Amino acid sequence: MWRAVPSRVTCQRHTLPRGSAIGNITCTTHKPLPVRTTLGVYSPSLWYQHEVVFVESVVIDMGTLIGSGTVVLIVGLGIGVLFGLRTSPGGQRYRDVESKLDQTLQDKKGYEDEVVEHFTDTAKLLNNLTESYRDVHDHLAKGAATLCQGEGPVSLDRLDDGRNMAEIPAALADIHPPLDYAPKTSPDEKGMLNEEFGLERKPTESSPESPEEPKKPDSL
């Protein structure tokens, strides 16, 4: 009768000099051959050795471990400080001010857009009003030419500032605007800017002399 005996594995670690991060592990596997038992007595086991080299393992230096822990600690502290600032009352006030500033900027932008739209619509309405005035004028001119006796409608192109003087009648060409001062009646008369203007006295008729009052007699 044949029986299988479990195999054994023996591992031995080979370390490299200090400061190195890599070491080797060598394992030895002991595999028994199947043995035959007779009357319940095992025969001597026959063993052979098979050496297997496993994948290199990483050995971390103490300085590297301390440096990594320090970096992780600094990063964690930074994250904690940022989180604390965001959740503190001061951070809440900062967020409120930031949101109000954003809202103010949005309101300002909306107001500017409304102003631009308002004046754009106003310009369009004024253009429409000008066109409507021309249409009304042409309509009235055509009606006057058809219903009334005259020379016909007057075009808007003739209603400009530079009119021809030949179109003004001669009787109206010599009209001057009224003066705001009294003109001189003679060359010898003093003007309004003279210092003695208005100070002349007109001669008046001499009034009859009144009779002298009788003298009172001296008192005794």
d(CA 56, CA 62): 19
- Residue 46 confidence (pLDDT): 44
* CA 200 to each of CA 194, 195, 206: distance values in angstroms, whole numbers, following the listed order: 12, 11, 18
d(CA 116, CA 209): 90
- Phi first, then psi, for residue 4 (nearest 5°) are -100, 130
Alpha-carbon torsion, ordered 104, 105, 110, 113, to 10 deg: 140
- For residues 154 and 141, the answer to whether their CB atoms sit within 8 Å is yes
pLDDT tens readout for residues 31-82: 554 544 444 444 444 444 444 444 444 556 778 888 888 999 999 888 888 8
Entry pTM: 0.29
Decide: helix, strand or coil at residue 211.
coil
Domain boundaries, the chain: 2-59, 65-133
| Predicted confidence (pLDDT) at residue 112 exceeds the cutoff of 90 | yes
In which band, very low, low, confident or very high, does the pLDDT at 183 lie, cut at 50, 70 and 90? low
- Residue 175 confidence (pLDDT): 72
- Phi first, then psi, for residue 23 (nearest 5°) are -140, 170
Tokens read off for 73: 């600690």
In which band, very low, low, confident or very high, does the pLDDT at 1 lie, cut at 50, 70 and 90? very low
pLDDT tens readout for residues 52-61: 444 444 556 7
Average pLDDT score, the chain:
67
Percent of the chain with pLDDT over 90: 19
